[in-house]
C-alpha cells in the first residue's frame, strides 16, 4: 500500500496526469473505469481562481466516483497561490497539487509552471505558502530541472519534502526538452533511493506499454507511475499495466465493441458536463485516438467531426461497431501524441 498523508492507494498505483484540455471530468471518468487509481484535474491558474474566471472555476468540478482526486494549481506568486489553495479547499478534493512542470512559454516564461525551476528558493517559498494555507495534503509535479546544466531535482525533492509536501511526481525531462527526446528516469530513481526521502515518488514520462511500466518499476523503484499522453484515446493502458504487474501476461487489445462503448460513455458525459454544443465540439479531438488502427476509417471519422446532433453521432458510432465487428486489433506500442501546445505536465 502507498500512502499520501491519509490517502490509501494500492501497491504501485497508476495516476492519471493532469493535462490541459484533456483531463476533464468526462475523460477522467473513463480512465477511472479502466483502472486509474488517482486522478488529477486540468491545471488551474491561481490568478484565474482569484479573479473568479469562469473557465478556472469550472475546472474545480469533481465528483464522488472519481476519488481519490487531486486539484492542480499553478502560479508564481506566494499570496496568489495561498489564496487559490483556500478556494480549492472549499471544493473538498482529496489533495492539492502544485504544477512546477508545465513547459509552454505562456506559463513557464511568466514565472510559473516549469519556469519556477530556475529559482529553487522561490519554488520552496511558493510550496511552503500553499502548505501553510490549507489543511489538504499538498503534492508537487515537476521536472528534472530547467535545462541540462541545471538538473536540480535531487535538491528540490529534499527541500520540498522539508516544507511539508506529501508526495512528488517527476517528469523525466527538463523544461528545455519540452516533450522531445527520451525521458531520463535515472534521476527519478536517485530521488526515490535517497535515504532522506520518505514521501512517495511517482515517475512520469514515456510510459507507453505494460512492459515498460514494469521495467521502470523494477529498475528505478518508484512508488507508482503517472501516465499522461499514453492514456489519450487509450484509457485501457491502466488496466493493461495492472494485469501485467499482477500476472506477467499481456491482455488482448480492446475490441471494437469496447472502443465504441467507451467512446459513447465519454461523449455522454461530455454532453452532460459541457452541454450539447461545447460537449460535441470538444469530443471531436478524441475520436481519432479511440479508433486508431481501423482501416479505411476516414469517411466515418469525417462524419464524427462534422455532425452536430448527439443522436446522429451515436448512430455513426453504432455503424462503426457493426462495420468492424470481428476486426482484430494488433497489439502494439502506443504512439505518444505530439501534444506540446496543450501542456500535459
69 in Cβ contact with 61 (< 8 Å): no
Active site residue 102: yes
Q: 46: part of which helix (H) or strand (E)?
A: helix 46-50
Tell me if 87 sits within 8 A of 50, measured CB to CB: yes
Best CA proximity match to 317, nearest among 270, 269, 257, 273? 257
Q: How far apart are CA 243 and CA 239, in angstroms?
A: 6
Pairing verdict, β 7-9 and 2-4: antiparallel
Please give the grid coordinates belonging to residue 141.
509535479
**Which residue matches cell numbers 506499454?**
209
The alpha carbon of residue 220 and the mean position of all alpha carbons in its chain are separated, in whole angstroms, by 21
Rounded Cα distance, 292 and 31, in Å = 18
Q: What is the DSSP string of 64-110?
A: GGG-SEEEEEE-S-HHHHHHHHHHHHHT--SEEEEEE----HHHHTT
Q: How far is Cα 264 from Cα 266, in angstroms, rounded to an integer?
A: 5
Query: What is the SS3 assignment for 169?
Result: strand
Distance CA 56, CA 43 (A): 9
Question: Cell digits for 321?
Answer: 461497431
Cα–Cα distance for residue pair 95/2, rounded to 1 Å: 15
Question: 156: number of CA atoms within 13 Å, CB side?
Answer: 31
Q: What are phi and psi of 44, to 5 degrees?
A: -125, 130
Beta-carbon contacts of residue 200 (< 8 Å; ≥ 6 apart): 2, 3, 4, 166, 167, 168, 223, 224
* Among 102, 109, 263, 343, the one annotated catalytic: 102
Residue pair 141/172 in contact (Cβ under 8 Å)? The answer is no
As annotated, the active-site residues are 102
Amino acid at each position: 500500500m502507498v500512502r499520501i498523508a491519509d490517502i490509501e492507494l494500492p501497491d504501485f498505483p497508476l495516476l492519471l496526469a493532469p493535462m490541459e484540455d484533456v483531463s476533464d471530468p468526462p475523460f477522467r471518468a473513463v480512465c477511472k473505469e479502466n483502472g486509474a487509481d488517482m486522478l488529477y484535474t486540468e491545471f488551474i491558474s491561481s490568478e484565474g481562481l482569484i479573479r473568479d474566471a469562469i473557465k478556472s472555476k469550472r475546472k474545480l468540478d469533481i465528483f464522488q466516483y472519481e476519488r481519490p482526486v487531486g486539484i492542480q494549481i499553478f502560479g508564481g506568486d506566494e499570496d496568489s497561490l495561498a489564496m487559490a489553495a483556500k478556494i480549492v479547499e472549499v471544493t473538498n478534493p482529496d489533495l492539492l497539487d502544485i504544477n512546477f512542470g508545465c513547459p509552454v512559454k505562456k506559463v513557464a516564461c511568466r514565472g510559473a509552471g516549469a519556469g519556477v525551476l530556475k529559482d529553487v528558493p522561490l519554488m520552496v517559498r511558493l510550496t511552503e505558502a500553499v502548505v501553510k494555507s490549507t489543511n489538504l495534503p499538498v503534492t508537487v509535479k515537476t521536472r528534472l530541472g530547467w535545462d541540462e546544466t541545471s538538473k536540480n531535482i535531487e535538491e528540490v525533492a529534499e527541500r520540498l519534502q522539508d516544507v511539508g509536501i506529501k508526495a512528488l511526481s517527476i517528469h523525466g525531462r527538463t523544461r528545455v526538452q519540452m516533450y522531445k527526446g527520451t525521458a531520463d528516469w535515472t534521476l527519478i530513481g536517485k530521488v526515490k533511493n535517497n535515504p532522506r526521502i520518505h514521501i512517495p515518488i511517482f515517475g512520469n514520462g514515456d510510459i507507453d506499454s505494460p512492459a515498460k511500466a514494469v521495467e521502470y518499476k523494477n529498475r528505478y523503484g518508484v512508488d507508482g507511475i503517472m501516465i499522461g499522453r499514453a492514456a489519450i484515446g487509450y484509457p485501457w493502458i491502466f488496466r493493461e499495466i495492472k494485469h501485467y504487474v499482477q500476472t506477467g501476461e499481456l491482455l488482448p487489445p480492446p475490441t471494437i465493441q469496447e472502443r465504441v462503448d467507451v467512446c459513447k460513455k465519454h461523449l455522454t458525459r461530455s454532453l452532460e458536463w459541457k452541454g450539447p454544443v461545447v460537449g460535441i465540439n470538444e469530443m471531436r479531438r478524441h475520436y481519432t485516438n479511440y479508433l486508431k488502427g481501423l482501416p479505411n476509417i476516414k469517411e466515418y471519422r469525417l462524419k464524427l467531426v462534422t455532425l452536430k446532433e448527439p443522436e446522429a453521432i451515436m448512430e455513426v458510432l453504432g455503424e462503426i461497431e457493426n462495420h468492424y465487428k470481428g476486426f482484430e486489433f494488433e497489439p502494439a506500442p502506443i504512439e505518444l501524441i505530439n501534444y506540446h501546445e496543450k501542456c500535459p505536465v
